[in-house]
Chains A and B, each alone.
Chain A
Amino acid sequence: MTNTPDLPNQDSASPTTTDLEPGGGVLDAGTYDRLLEPRSANRLPLGDGTWHLLSRNYVWVRLISTLAVLALVLAAAVVGAVLLRLGWVWIPAGVVTVVTVWTLVILPRQARAYGYQLREDDLVFRRGILWQRMVAVPYGRMQLVDITHGPLDRVFGIAQLKLVTAAATTGVVIPGLTQPAAELLRDTLIAVAETRRTGL
C-alpha cells in the first residue's frame, strides 16, 4: 500500500479520511508496495487515502500465459514454413511476436499502476500509465461482484474481481488480487452495498 500525501490539489474536506479497512493486512499481503505513476507533473493526482495494489504473482501469471500463446503461434509458424513451405507465415508471426514482446515489456509497469481505494461510501479504481483512468463507484450502485480464476491463477493463488453496475461503461475489473483478498473484498463490497442500497 502506498500513501501519497504530497500531491497538488489536496482537498481538505475529502471523504477519504474514514476509509473502510476490512480484514487487517489481508488486502495488502504479497502485493506491490508502491503505485507507479506517469512522470509528468501534469498527471492525474492520486489524492489522499490508502491505495491497495495488485499481487506480485499477477505478472508471473500473465507472463506464463502470454509466453504459452506466443510459443503456440511460433510453433504454428514453424510448421507452416517448414512442412507446408509457406514463406509468408513469418510476416504475421513476426507481427504477433513484436506486439507480444512489447506487451510483456510494459506488463510489469502496467501491473504496478493498478490500484483501488475503499473509501467510506465508494470504491475508487485507477489503472494505466500512458492512459490514466480513475473511476469512483458508489457502493450502493453495485449490481453484482464477479470473481474469476483460471487454472494458472489458482496455481499462483490470484483471482480477478469484476464489479458490475447498471452502466456497462463503468468497467471496473481488478485483475491479480490474491485469493483471500478477492474473497474478502467481495464479501465486504456486498455487505457494504447492502447497507447503502439505492435504486437504479
Chain B
Amino acid sequence: MTDPAAVADVRSPLSDGEWHRLHPLTPVLRGGLFLVVVLGIVITNLRDRIIGWLFPAVADLERYEADPVDYVVSNNLILLALVAVLAVLLLLLGGFWLSWRFHTLRITGDDVEVRSGILFRTHRRAPLDRVQGVNLTRPMVARLLGAAKLEVVGAGLDSNVKLEYLSTTNAEALRADILRLASGRQLARASDAAGSVPRGRAAVATVSAALTGLIDGAEQPVAEPASVVHIPPGRLIGSRLLSGSTLWLLVVVAAIIVGSVVGTPWVLFTLVPAALGFAAYWFRTITRALRYSIAPTPSGVRITFGLFTTITETLPPGRVHAFEIRQPLLWRGCGWWSIRVNRLSGRSANDAQSQQFADVLPVGTRDDVERVLRLFLPGISAAQWQELVVHGLLGPHDESDPYVTTPRRAWWLRPLSWRRNGVLLTPDAILLRRGLIWRSLVILPLARLQSVALSQGPIGRSQKAATLTGHTVAGQVPGAVGALDRDAAVAVWQRAARAVIAAAASDRSHRWDAAPPASPAPIAIATTDQEEGRA
C-alpha cells in the first residue's frame, strides 16, 4: 500500500505498509528441530565409537555390534555417507530458506497481513480493530539469537497471526505499532526512524544484547512500567506445591504404601515413576510461572511470565470477558488467591497453552488481587472493593449480605455452600459467588456478556429454585450459579438482560483510545486495502 498519509504515520521500519520478510535466522530457528534430529541419529550411531575413542579400556571389553557405521567403514563409503548427510541437511535448510523467502508480512493502517507457503500459498489478513491481544514469546534458543515470536491474537478459532521470528527490537516496535493502530488512535508522526538496523548485521549484533536481555528479563525498553505485583519465588513454589495435585500425590502414595503392606512389597517401586512424574510437573509449572510481572501500559495490561521461554502478552482494555478469583483449600491458611480470566485467545479451549494464558495472577495475597483487578477494572472504588472482599471473597457474614443466595428449603442442593452460593448484580457486572471449601468469585463484566440464561430442571423446580448462567466467550471460567431462589433469580435475570444492553451500548473499550466521535478516515483506508489485497 502506498498511501502517503499512512506511511508517514508509521514509526517502525516493519510497519510502513510494505511487504517485509521475517528475521533472516528464521530458517535456522524453525529448522533447528530437524538439525537436532539428524544430529541425534548420527550421534546414536557413533556412540560406541566415540566411547571407544575416549576410553579405549572400556571399548576393549565389548565388541561392537554391526551398525551402519561399521558397514560404511568396511565398504569405504565414508565420503558417500558424509555427502548424503550433507545433502539432507542442505535440502532441509534450503526448504526452510525458501519458505522464509516466501513468508512476508505487511502492516497497513487497518490490517496485519501474512503471506506464506511455497507451493500452497496462504494469505491471512487480520483486521486490527478485532485484535484481542499481542503475545511476544521468546524461547530459550531464539532469545540467545536475539529473535522473538510475535503472535497477533484474533477473535475466532485458530485466527492468530503468527510472526515467527522477528528480531527483538523489531518485534517490540511492531507490537507497539499494532496496539496503537488497534487502539483507534492514529499513529504518532514518524519520530525516530533512526531505530532501524540493517537486518543482516542485526542478527550478529544482537547476540550480545540478547545475553544482557537474558539476564535482565524479557523487556528492556526505557519506558518499561514497573510490575504492580511482586511474587516472591518462595511463595510461588509453595503455592504450586500446595496445589490440588499434591493432594492426589498423597492419596497415591498412601495407596501404594497400603498396597505394599497388604500385598507385595514390589508395589513400592511404582513410587519411582509417580515421583518422577510429579517432579516434572512441578518443575514445569514453577518455571512457567517464575519471573511473573504485570504492569499497566497505555495500550493495555502487560503480563510477562516464564523462566526459560518468556512470554509477554499485552491485553488491551475491554478484552477480558470474565474473571474468577479462586482460593484452593490448601491456600486458605496462607491467604493466597489466584485470578484466571476468559478471553479470546484464538486457541481452542483444550489447547494446553490456553490454560496458561488464562492465569493472569498465578498466586497472590488479597492486596495483589486488588491491584491486578484494578488494572483490568479501573472503575472499582475503595468502598466497592471492600464490599467485594467482605461479601464476595470471604462472605457471607451476617444478615447484611447483598447476594441472592440459595433458599433454606433448597439447602440440600448445595449442602455445604448454600449460605455462600449466590449472585449479585451491580451496575457494571454480575458477581457469582460459589464454594465454601474451594472459594471462588466470578466477575462477569456486563459490557462483555453475550447473553444471559435462566434454566430450571425437575429437581430445581421441586424446590422452587433456578440456575442463572452468563454466557461469555469460551474459557476456563464457568458462568453459572445454580440453586437460587426462583423469584429472585427471575428478577436478577430480567434486570441483567436490561443492564447488558445498556452496558453494551455505552461501552467504547474495543476502540479504547479513539477520539469520542468515530473518525471516518480508517474506514476509507480499509476499502482501498481490501481491493489491493484481492488483486
Contact = CB atoms under 8 A, between A and B. Distances in A.
- A, B: real partners: yes
Interface of A: 8-9, 11, 14-15, 38, 40, 42-45, 47, 121-122, 124, 130-138, 140-141, 165-170, 172, 196, 198-200
Main DSSP-derived SS at the A contact region: loop
B286 interface: no
In the A-B complex, the 10 residue pairs with the closest CB atoms: A199-B510, A136-B497, A167-B450, A167-B471, A42-B464, A198-B504, A137-B451, A135-B453, A165-B450, A121-B501
A8 B451 contact: no
Interface of B: 130, 132, 155, 318, 344, 448, 450-458, 461-464, 466, 469, 471-474, 479, 486-487, 490-491, 493-494, 496-498, 500-501, 504-505, 507, 509-511
Nearest to A136: B497
Contacts of B498: 15
A166 B457 contact: no
A17 to B, nearest CB: 12
B80 to A, nearest CB: 57
B450 A14 contact: no
Contact of A199 (B452, B472, B494, B509): B509
Contacts of A169: 469, 471, 474, 479
Contacts of A167: 450-451, 471-474
Contacts of B456: 42-44, 131-133
Contact of A200 (B462, B463, B473): B473
Given A122-B500, A136-B496, A172-B451, 12 more contacts: A42-B462, A44-B486, A44-B490, A47-B494, A122-B497, A131-B458, A133-B453, A134-B454, A166-B344, A169-B474, A170-B453, A199-B318
Find the residue from A8, A11, A44, A172 having the highest chain B CB count within 10 A.
A44
Nearest to B466: A44
A183 to B, nearest CB: 23
Contact of A134 (B450, B453, B471): B453
A43 B466 CA distance: 9
Contact of A138 (B451, B469, B491): B451
A138 B500 contact: yes
Contact of A38 (B452, B461, B509): B461
A131 B455 contact: yes
Given A42-B461, A44-B466, A198-B504, A9 B490 contact: yes
16 contacts: A14-B494, A40-B461, A42-B463, A44-B455, A44-B466, A131-B456, A133-B453, A135-B452, A135-B454, A137-B450, A165-B450, A165-B451, A167-B451, A198-B504, A198-B510, A200-B155
Contacts of A200: 130, 132, 155, 344, 448, 473, 510
Contacts of B448: 200
B491 A9 contact: yes
A45 B490 contact: yes
Nearest to B157: A168
A131 B457 contact: yes
B497 A133 contact: no
Contacts of B457: 130-132
B464 A140 contact: no
A189 to B, nearest CB: 14
A122 B495 CA distance: 13
Nearest to A196: B505
B461 A170 contact: no
B450 A170 contact: yes
Given A9-B491, A11-B494, A168 B505 contact: no
B451 A170 contact: yes
Find the residue from B457, B463, B497, B509 having the highest chain A CB count within 10 A.
B497
A35 B498 CA distance: 24
B207 to A, nearest CB: 41
B341 to A, nearest CB: 14
B490 A136 contact: no
Contacts of A165: 450-451, 471
Contacts of A134: 453-455, 493
Contacts of B130: 200
Nearest to B500: A138
Contacts of A172: 451
A1 B450 CA distance: 27
A138 B504 contact: yes
Given A121-B501, A131-B455, A167-B474, A141 B450 contact: yes
